[in-house]
Amino acid sequence: MDFFKIAVLYALTAIAEILGCYLPWLVLKQAKPTWLLLPGAMSLGVFAWLLTLHPAAAGRTYAAYGGMYIAIALLWLNLVEGVRLTRWNLAGAALALCGMAVIAMQPSNS
């Protein structure tokens, strides 16, 4: 699987997890309607399914996924929650993505 496909799959996985956690957070912290728990649970189910599509061993997938999760969570913070990102956020996301790339793209015989 090429790097672009792996990165997109990691990004979709992160979005599913974040959405699955954000919707219950809205219900519990901001008194939003309880029906939001249903799409939240469904999103977490999609998240678990997406994890099975990654080509690497589970532990390696989770390790690499962490880097993409950081970047997507910061994008979520900016786009959904309206918080302006700092240069420190951007630098941290760049470092995390580099780590993700190193782990995800290592030669298959390693």
Phi and psi angles of residue 81, each rounded to the nearest 5 degrees, phi first: -95, -10
Tokens 């969570």, located at residue: 73
Where in the sequence is the domain holding 65, given as residue range(s)? Answer: 3-104
Q: For residue 109, tell me if it sits in a domain.
A: no
Q: For residue 110, tell me if it sits in a domain.
A: no
Average the pLDDT over 61-77 and give the result.
Answer: 92
Q: Tally the domains of the chain.
A: 1
Give the span between the Cα atoms of 99 and 81, in whole angstroms: 26
Q: Is the confidence at residue 109, as pLDDT, over 70?
A: no
Q: Is the confidence at residue 78, as pLDDT, over 60?
A: yes
Q: For residue 30, tell me if it sits in a domain.
A: yes
Q: How confident is the model at residue 42 (pLDDT cuts 50, 70, 90)?
A: very high
| Residue, of 2 and 97, whose pLDDT is higher | 97
Q: What percent of the chain has pLDDT over 90?
A: 71
Tokens encoding 42: 């469904």
Average the pLDDT over 88-96 and give the result.
Answer: 97
